[in-house]
Amino acid sequence: MNEEKIYQLSYVSTGCDSLRYEDIKNILESSNKNNSQDHITGILVYCNKHFFQIIEGNREAILEIFNKILIDSRHDNVIKIQEGYIDKRQFESWNMAFKSYNKELKDLDNFNNEQFYSYINSQLSDKNNISMKVLADFFDLNG
C-alpha cells in the first residue's frame, strides 16, 4: 500500500456493566470487517472492564470510526490518550489485534504473550509515542 501519512489515535474506555463475551466477539467481527475495507489497523486490549485501543490509518477514516466508537453504548468514559501523524503503521499485520486479560475471553486473543511482548518492545524506540508506552505498561502491570 502506498500511503503518504498515517494518523494514529488511542483511547481508554470502560465497558458497560452488561458487556458479555458475545458483545466483544461482535465488536471484533465488525472491526475486522470494517477496518479491512477502510485500511485501518490497530489493537484492542481488554482488561478488568477497561478497553485500550490504538487505531491507525487515513486521518478522515480514523476520525470517522472514532466518532462511531464514541457513541457506542457497549462502553462509556471514552478518554482520548493521543492522536497525530506517525511515520509508519505499527500494527500493519492486524486489522484489529486483540489481547484480553479476562480468562473467559482468552479464545478471542490473536496474539500469544511472548510474541506480543517482544513486538511491543521492538516498537518502543519512538520515545514520543505515548500510546505504545501505555500498551507496554499494560503488559508490565498485567501480563
Ligand X SMILES: Cc1cc2nc3c(=O)[nH]c(=O)nc-3n(C[C@H](O)[C@H](O)[C@H](O)COP(=O)(O)O)c2cc1C
Select 1 or 114, whichever has its Cβ closest to ligand X. Answer: 1
Give the bridge partners for 86, in sequence order: 6
Q: Does 72 bind ligand X (CB under 6 A)?
A: yes
Helix (H, G, I), strand (E, B), or coil: what is residue 124? coil
> Which residue among 43, 61, 69, 97 contacts ligand X (CB under 6 A)?
69
CA 119 – CA 66 distance, rounded (Å): 25
Min dist. Cβ of residue 37 to ligand X (A): 9
Dihedral pair phi/psi, residue 115, rounded to 5°: -55, -45
124 grid coordinates = 518502543
Q: Does 110 bind ligand X (CB under 6 A)?
A: no
Min dist. Cβ of residue 62 to ligand X (A): 10
Half-sphere exposure at residue 46, Cβ-oriented, CA atoms within 13 angstroms:
26
Helix (H, G, I), strand (E, B), or coil: what is residue 77? strand
Q: Does 96 bind ligand X (CB under 6 A)?
A: yes
DSSP state of 4: S
E strand or H helix at 116: helix 113-122
Min dist. Cβ of residue 59 to ligand X (A): 15
Min dist. Cβ of residue 69 to ligand X (A): 4
Taking CB under 6 A as the binding criterion, the range among 25-33, 56-64, 98-106, 129-137 that sits at the site for ligand X is 25-33
Residue found by looking up cell 506517525 in the block:
86
Q: Does 138 bind ligand X (CB under 6 A)?
A: no
Q: Does 97 bind ligand X (CB under 6 A)?
A: no
Q: Does 54 bind ligand X (CB under 6 A)?
A: no
